[in-house]
Amino acid sequence: MKILVVEDEIKLADYLAKGLAEEGFVVDVAHNGVDGLHLASELDYDLIVLDGMLPGIDGLAVLAALRQTKQTPVLMLTARGQVEDRVRGLQEGADDYLVKPFAFSELVARLHVLLRRSNGASGTSAPQAAAEATTLRLEDLELDLIRRRATRAGQRLELTAKEFSLLSLLLRRQGEVLSRTELASQVWDMNFDSETNVVEVAVRRLRVKLDLPFGRTLLHTVRGMGYVLESRTL
């Protein structure tokens, strides 16, 4: 999952970048509206965290310009008391907002809700979506995104940060075949290079923890295409 953080306060931007990377996101940072708009327009992000008050072009102007071409989900950061900015932000097409100062865990929870929503889970009310979006499931496999805990048949799976990211991506897009190239770029932030087998190695390790002890395979190889996480009845 790729995320762009547009925030001019260097300390806050660094803090967010580090925290989100630890949560398994691939993070880019822009420190002003011009760079932010450029990156957001040129590259494909899954999410954008956009500060409202930026030097040069402010957050609302960045949002308005971006919405001419892209519908990337945007969470806006606003200062306490700036109710009008919030209203305008939502009118300009922000998908959610958080008032500073905020708890990092709340930001992460909101981002997962936006991801879930943009991946096509519609028809649920916002509070329902908020509760559901933090847990991903397939059969007896459960991923708690906030606590970063994976369990299968009630047993805890001890995953590394990358394994957790890989599994959450596969689970979020269950039933869909994901190529090695896509996994490499989404989970490792690298362009696929035929010399490297990092994805295969990670998948192999993940299988030993995820499938081997449980006798029922959820993670399947699709020859020549990639990997898919799904229920199969054979």
List the one residue out of 100, 57, 105 whose CA is nearest residue 82: 100
With respect to Ca ion, which residue has the nearer C-beta, 53 or 121?
Answer: 53
Asked if the peptide bond before residue 127 counts as cis, ω within 30 degrees of 0, the response is no
Min dist. Cβ of residue 7 to Ca ion (A): 6
The residue (of 53 and 90) whose beta carbon lies closer to Ca ion is: 53
- Residue closer to Ca ion (CB basis): 53 or 177: 53
Considering the complex, state which of residue 8 and residue 142 has its C-beta at the smaller distance from Ca ion: 8
Per-residue b or e along 127-155, where b marks 16 or more CB atoms closer than 10 Å to that residue's CB = eebbeebbebebeebbbebeebebebeee
Q: Which residues contact 55 (CB under 8 A, 6 or more apart)?
A: 8, 32, 33
Angle at which helices 180-187 and 198-210 cross, to 10°: 90
What is the rounded CA–CA span in Å between residue 223 and residue 214? 23
Whole-number Cα distances in Å, 104 to 9, 69, 149? 16, 30, 18
Which residues are near Ca ion by CB under 5 A?
Answer: 8, 51, 53
**Least Cβ distance, residue 135 to Ca ion (angstroms):** 33
Which lies closer to Ca ion via its Cβ, residue 24 or residue 52? 52
Give CA–CA dist 99/57, Å, rounded.
20
Q: Which residue is nearest to Ca ion (CB)?
A: 53
Least gap, CB of 79 to Ca ion (angstroms): 8
24 or 59: CB nearest Ca ion? 59
Residue 16 CB, nearest approach to Ca ion (Å): 12
Residues whose CB is less than 8 angstroms from the CB of residue 78 and which lie 6 or more positions away in sequence, other chains included: 52, 85, 86, 89, 97, 98, 99, 100
